[in-house]
């Protein structure tokens, strides 16, 4: 077996190591996006890769989100394995036509003839005071689209491994990365690599309640669970990881075990992904419930600039702790 010794690594470094491994292991892989090369990546994720792999494989693109995403889709159709980097999810709306009308649609619309093995990575979430056009969490917009595989990188292990598995997919994969975590250090096994991208994952076992979350909510939920444990409440943390196709069985299994569910996400409440999870629980595990499903979601306003308002825009650890306590000891 491989090396299980833990190494301390930042989320950024984990993402970069995954990129590097992907580029080393498959000549068809190339990275294209704004400032991925000479600048080193808007968030320094691809820093140094241009020097190592050259401009054919680390391609700086002009500010043409739709154009270079479409080019990535075309290259994928023609035998390459492109990784398209979109700086933030907000900018991805400029490429959404390509992602939805082409990448997600071509296989079905062509009667199974054209699959699109493109990987589209985008940064998202709050934490850097970047205000309303750089900070959103729009995973639910993409999770709505059949034909896409939608991954949310909530842990360092997934930062190191999800990209590698995504590149093996014959179908388009959208990967959400969280900018607030870039400098965060965590331990992962020294031999960490490709991870499963079909299943949700229990990040902490518990028997009193399921905190179901993804992305930026995962570490917050784990911190909240630790605090709750001190208060005698054993919370299970389920990291959804794969928003589409959703691993419904893991959600149902967790709820069947704990009989309570709190869904946490940073995206807006109305029409959000927590709403979907809540509905699935009603449909598939209603009689397992000892209490109504609750949601903690982003406040329904554009994300503002000042730190105190930014922080107030999304669920925080204290909000999760309080919500759980209310559900268990009303």
Partner 1 sequence: MEKSPYLHLLYQMLLIRRFEEKCAEMYAKTNIRGFLHLYIGEEAVAVGVTQALAGDDYVLATYREHGHALARGMDAGAIMAEMYGKQEGCSRGRGGSMHLFDGKKLYGGNAIVAGHLSMAVGMALAAKKQKQNRIACCFFGEGAAAEGEFHEAMNLAALWQVPVLFVCENNYYAMGTALRFSHAVQELEKKGPAYGIETAVADGMDVLAVERAAREAVEKVRARGKPYFLVCNTYRFRAHSMFDAELYRNKSEVEEWKKRDPIPRLSDFLLIKKVITEQDVQDLENRVAAEVQKAVDFAEGGTWEPVEQLTKFVYSSD
Which residues are marked as active site? Answer: 65, 134
Angle at 144 between CA 194 and CA 154, to 5 degrees: 35
Question: Which CA distances in Å does 170 have to 149, 187, 264?
Answer: 10, 31, 31
Q: What is the CA radius of gyration of the chain?
A: 19
Residue with smaller CB distance to partner 1, 141 or 159: 141
**C-alpha count within 13 angstroms, C-beta hemisphere, residue 188:** 21
Instruction: Please measure the distance between the N-terminal and C-terminal CA atoms of the chain and give it in whole angstroms.
Output: 48
Binding residue (CB under 8 A) for partner 1 from 108, 199, 207, 307 = 108
Binding residue (CB under 8 A) for partner 1 from 77, 96, 229, 317 = 77
If 0-12 CB within 10 Å is exposed, 13-18 middle and 19+ buried, where does residue 146 land? Answer: exposed
Is residue 54 a contact residue for partner 1 (CB under 8 A)? no
Closest separation between CB of residue 218 and partner 1, Å?
A: 25
Is residue 36 a contact residue for partner 1 (CB under 8 A)? no
Question: CA-to-CA distance for 244 and 155, rounded, in angstroms?
Answer: 18
Of 184-213, binders to partner 1 (CB under 8 A) are none
Is residue 240 a contact residue for partner 1 (CB under 8 A)? no
Is residue 115 a contact residue for partner 1 (CB under 8 A)? yes
- The answer to whether the bond into 245 is cis (omega within 30° of 0) is yes
Answer for the pair 31, 59: CB distance below 8 angstroms, yes or no.
yes
Of 257-316, binders to partner 1 (CB under 8 A) are none
Binding residue (CB under 8 A) for partner 1 from 8, 24, 109, 282 = 109
Which of the stretches 103-111, 228-236, 276-284, 321-329 binds partner 1 when contact is defined by CB under 8 A? 103-111
Of 157-186, binders to partner 1 (CB under 8 A) are 170-171
Which of the stretches 12-20, 112-120, 185-193, 204-212 binds partner 1 when contact is defined by CB under 8 A? 112-120
Dump the DSSP string for 65-125: HHHHHHHHHHHHHTT-EEEEEEEEHHHHGGGHIIIIIIITTHHHHTTS------EEEEEE-
Closest separation between CB of residue 72 and partner 1, Å?
A: 6
| Residues of this chain that bind partner 1 (CB under 8 A) | 30, 56, 59, 61-62, 64, 66-80, 82, 97-98, 101-102, 106-115, 146-147, 149, 170-171, 245
């Amino acid at each position: 077996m491989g090396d299980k010794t833990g190494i301390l690594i930042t989320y950024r470094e984990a993402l970069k190591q995954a990129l590097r491994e992907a580029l080393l292991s498959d000549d068809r892989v190339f990275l294209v996006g704004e400032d991925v090369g000479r600048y080193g990546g808007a968030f320094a994720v691809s820093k140094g890769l241009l020097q190592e792999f050259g401009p054919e494989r680390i391609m700086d693109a002009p500010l043409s989100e739709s154009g270079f995403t479409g080019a990535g889709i075309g290259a994928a159709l023609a035998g390459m394995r492109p990784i398209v980097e979109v700086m933030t999810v907000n900018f991805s709306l400029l490429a959404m036509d390509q992602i939805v009308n082409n990448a997600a649609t071509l296989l079905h619309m062509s009667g199974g003839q054209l699959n699109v093995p493109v990987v589209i990575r985008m940064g998202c979430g709050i934490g850097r005071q970047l205000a309303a056009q750089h900070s959103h969490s729009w995973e639910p917009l993409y999770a709505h689209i059949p034909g896409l595989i939608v991954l949310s990188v909530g842990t360092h292990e997934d930062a190191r491994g999800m990209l590698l598995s995504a590149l093996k997919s014959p179908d388009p994969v959208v990967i959400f990365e969280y900018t607030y975590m870039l400098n965060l250090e965590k331990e992962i096994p020294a031999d960490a690599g490709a991870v499963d991208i079909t299943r949700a994952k229990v990040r902490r076992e518990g028997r009193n309640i399921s905190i179901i979350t993804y992305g930026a909510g995962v570490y917050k939920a784990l911190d909240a669970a630790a605090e709750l444990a001190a208060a005698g409440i054993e919370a299970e943390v389920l990291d959804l990881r794969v928003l589409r196709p959703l691993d419904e069985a893991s959600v149902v299994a967790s709820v069947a075990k704990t009989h309570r569910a709190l869904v946490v996400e940073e995206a807006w409440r109305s029409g959000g992904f927590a709403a979907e999870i809540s509905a699935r629980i009603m449909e598939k595990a209603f009689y397992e419930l000892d209490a109504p499903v609750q949601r903690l979601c982003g406040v329904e306003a554009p994300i503002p600039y000042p730190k105190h308002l930014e922080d107030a825009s999304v669920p925080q650890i204290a909000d999760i702790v309080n919500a759980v306590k209310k559900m268990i000891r009303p």
